A and B are shown apart, each in its own frame.
Chain A
Amino acid sequence: MTICHFFLQGRCRFGERCWNEHPHGWGDGGGGRPPPPQQYPAAPSGCSRGGWSNSSQRYSNVIQPSNFSKSTAWGGSRDPGKTSFGSFDSGASSSGSRNVGFSQNRFSTLSSNQVDGEGIAKDMEVWESSGQWTFSVYSPMKEKPNISGFTDISPEELRLEYSNCITSNTLQSYLSSIQQLVNLWKSRLLELKNISAATRGALVRPGVSFLFSVIAGFPVNSSSSSGAQNFSFKPTSAFGAAPSSSSTSVFGAAVMPTAPALTASSSSNSTLTTSAPTSFGFGEAAAVSAASFSFKSLEVFNFGSAGFSGFPASSPVGTAGASGSPAFGPSGSGSGATPFGLSAGGFGQSGASSTLPSSRGSDTASAEHLFTPKNELTAEELKQFVAKKFTLGKVPLKPPPEGLLSI
């Protein structure tokens, strides 16, 4: 029997009735599937299409085009709509006939180290709209560490809590803690949705380190708040509260490089990610006044830059303001210090959106004073300091004047 050419291409109209041989390694469920308009009763018998998806975009690091050699030999490039059972995430199928989706993977150019910001935003949207279980951890790509800020609670644990509360008559506290957890989740979700939009451009740059995923680790949830103690921030007790304010976030970003585990280059992804939650408390309670943050963070800036390989040499704090302030402006600026930029973008986001424009100059030497005399501030900076909260994109790089501190 001759081998059926059309079957190999995945478009045999006769399916099981075909007179030619259909090699059975294909798993095509009984014959090639005809183009959709032709409903072919025999062929897809029992072979329903649902479930095997092709959203391979997120799993770009696992896709290896070389696996397609088998399929290309057969010229099998069908569009996904015709496959018998959709297609898969990650990896070509063993029968090699279903890889089409991967060639369309628009993220295939991303290096495996890059985190796909768009994917994260999409995941967050799906999470929000799909009604899936709320209290789950999440990681932007398979085989990558979890993004912090999400707690893992299984339905059984929750239910057990409920039963215990019912019996001990503390139902109200159960309800309110659930509410709190949901709020935490919601705000974290929003942050992640927005980071990705903002930093999308920066993500695709070569050399963008995986630091991005670290960034995502900012608002600390209560369990990791203890780590924040590492930093000599006064309001450590404020950490662990619901991430609400955005005012501190930008400075928080500055802090990042100094996290003890951070000295390494971007390749030490996992260390970064795991240390991230412990080392900052951005978006922490508004109790952390910007002022107290500022001068500490500046000190921190100084040694931070040394250890941070992602930066161009000159970039530490001081110049940050100038060259597109990568520290504070995410994506948009996209200069060499992108990791930093990304992070800042991340932080800036809690609730707010959009890219941060670079905070203009008057940068250098800010580290030298603890406080800036009022006359050295521009009107805008002054306005920022005076305001209750910082506006994203306008956060001054210089420390506030002494008189404006309100600790």
Chain B
Amino acid sequence: MSLFGTTSGFGTSGTSMFGSTATDNHNPMKDIEVTSSPDDSIGCLSFSPPTLPGNFLIAGSWANDVRCWEVQDNGQTIPKAQQMHTGPVLDVCWSDDGSKVFTASCDKTAKMWDLNSNQAIQIAQHDAPVKTVHWIKAPNYSCVMTGSWDKTLKFWDTRSPSPMMTLQLPERCYCADVVYPMAAVATAERGLIVYQLENQPSEFRRIESPLKHQHRCVAIFKDKQNKPTGFALGSIEGRVAIHYINPPNPAKDNFTFKCHRSNGTNTSAPQDIYAVNGIAFHPVHGTLATVGSDGRFSFWDKDARTKLKTSEQLDQPISACCFNHNGNIFAYASSYDWSKGHEFYNPQKKNYIFLRNAAEELKPRNKK
């Protein structure tokens, strides 16, 4: 019986070897700890697509490496392979058939890692660090989309050294998400652009940011017919905006909510406000998870506009998160995200990736 996806307490058996009475707070949720986690902050996580049997997790870190683990049903994680860049890895993604992994790095390149041969080749070049990488699979084309701090969005056929297309961004690309046929890119200076990817990528709309501060992460969500219909945008100000592309009633349908703040209901004391480092939507339930610099993760139901759960506080910020393809596993990385500058950086501090059973906790609040 597969333990992932049932409610049995595999979590307890699979906890780290440090013992359950650890007084430190590195794993207050008692989630499964991934073995041989990266040596420096984890910037990005990605699970394999459904086309690949089993679950494989990829993590890119500031130690310039990309690591791959196989995650078994009993919760065991087996390190499989590793590749290096010459700069910190900022984003990773899988191809749709699960055979390749694309990695974007501060060394201004993006690489394609063939897992079968364990070879990685460079497939993209920018003038500044590449912040996002996504695989686009359209009926009539496939390509890799890279967003960079050089204010461009480039589309690459992995076989050719020059981009298929280059689109100018108003500012440095800070985060992006792709769910065919829609792509959403958030840039510096609160820029927000949505692209449509049918036929060929083209700018669909520039959107006035619903948030007042710097954009940090974006995730596209789908409607009941499995079509992308909007996105969630997180900022450094502990706030997430849910924005529909063509809502029947924008004023009513679009909204923002505060999250990752201390003493939420007590308005007298000044709150501590933390950045939202990542947003991920559950592939089945459509509910979302947010992770923040406060070291907590939260699950939300955007349709019921309610919070489902907030975790205990970890002793480090949570810098990245993602769901596996069927939504049974929620992975989150606990490592320093530079939210307090260099003074709080401790290179000796261990970085973790935790896995949690997400099948039950993310069920929407009201079943129709």
User: Which residues of A from 168 to 192 have beta carbons under 8 Å from B?
Assistant: 174, 178
Q: Which chain B residue lies CB-closest to A48?
A: B307
Please classify the interface of chain A as helix (H, G, I), strand (E, B), loop, or mixed, using the class held by over half of its residues: loop
Taking a contact as CB atoms under 8 Å apart, the answer to whether B270 and A143 are in contact is no
CA distance A85 to B209 in the complex (A): 25
Instruction: Select which of B189, B210, B341 is within 8 A of A152 by beta carbon.
Output: B189
In the complex, which residues of chain B have a beta carbon less than 8 angstroms from the beta carbon of A46?
A: 308-309, 365
Given contacts A27-B303, A178-B341, A163 and B88 within 8 Å (CB-CB): yes
Contact with B along A23-62 (1 / 0, CB 8 A): 0100101100000000000000011111111000010001
Instruction: Give complex CA distance A1, B209 in Å.
Output: 45
Bound complex: CA of A69 vs CA of B109, how far in Å? 54
Tell yes or no: B38 within 8 A of A by CB.
no
A-contacting 9-mer, from B67-75, B116-124, B177-185, B212-220 = B212-220
Within 8 A of B (CB), among A80-112: 84-86, 88-95, 98
Within 8 Å CB of A62, what residues of B? Answer: 251
Q: Which of B90, B235, B253, B365 contacts A29 (CB 8 A)?
A: B365
Within 8 A of A (CB), among B112-131: 129, 131
- Residues on the A chain within 8 Å of B258, using CB: 51-53, 89
Q: Name A49's contact: one of B174, B216, B265 (CB within 8 Å).
A: B265
Q: Are B214 and A143 in contact (CB under 8 A)?
A: no
**Which residues does chain B contribute within 8 Å of A93, judged by CB atoms?**
252, 255, 305
Q: Which residues of B contact A48 (CB under 8 A)?
A: 307, 309-310
Give the nearest-CB partner of A84 in chain B.
Answer: B306
Cross-chain contact A132 with B256 (CB below 8 angstroms)? no
Residues of chain B contacted by A146 (CB below 8 angstroms):
189-190
What A residues does B255 contact at CB under 8 A? 88-91, 93
Contacts of B249 in A (CB 8 A): 67
Q: Given B212, B213, B236, B257, which contacts A51 in the complex, CB threshold below 8 Å?
A: B257
Contact of B337 among A84, A126, A155 (CB under 8 A): A155
Would you call B193 an interface residue if the criterion is a C-beta within 8 Å of the partner chain's C-beta atoms? no
- Cβ-defined contact, B212 with A50, below 8 A: no
Residues of B within 8 A of A131 (CB): 272-274, 340
Query: For the side of the interface on B, what is the size category?
Result: 35 or more
Q: Which of A134-142, A214-222, A251-259, A316-324 lines the interface with chain B?
A: A134-142
A133 touches B214 (CB 8 A): yes
Q: Which of A85, A91, A126, A140 contacts B254 (CB 8 A)?
A: A91
Minimal beta-carbon separation of A193 from chain B (angstroms): 14
Q: Which of chain B's residues have a CB closer than 8 A to the CB of A125? A: 270
Q: Is the CB of B337 within 8 A of A27?
A: no
Assess A136 versus B236: contact at CB under 8 Å? Given A152-B214, A155-B339: yes
Q: Does chain A have a CB within 8 A of B271? A: yes
Contact of A158 with B209 at beta-carbon distance under 8 Å, contacts A50-B310, A94-B253, A136-B214 already known: no
Given A90-B251, A132-B238, A160-B88, A50-B307 contact (CB < 8 Å):
yes
Spell out B's residues near A (CB within 8 Å). Answer: 43, 62, 87-88, 90, 106, 129, 131, 149, 171-172, 174, 188-190, 208-214, 216, 235-238, 249-259, 261, 264-265, 270-275, 298, 300-301, 303-310, 337-342, 345, 365-366, 368
Given contacts A160-B88, A178-B341, could you give 17 more A-B pairs where the C-beta distance is less than 8 Å?
A27-B303, A29-B304, A47-B307, A49-B265, A51-B259, A53-B257, A53-B264, A64-B251, A67-B249, A85-B306, A93-B305, A94-B303, A94-B305, A130-B270, A131-B274, A146-B189, A162-B345
Would you give 23 A-B contacts (Cβ < 8 Å), ordered by A?
A24-B366, A47-B307, A51-B257, A51-B298, A51-B307, A52-B257, A52-B305, A90-B254, A92-B251, A94-B252, A98-B305, A125-B270, A129-B270, A131-B272, A132-B237, A133-B237, A135-B214, A142-B211, A143-B209, A154-B174, A154-B188, A157-B149, A163-B62
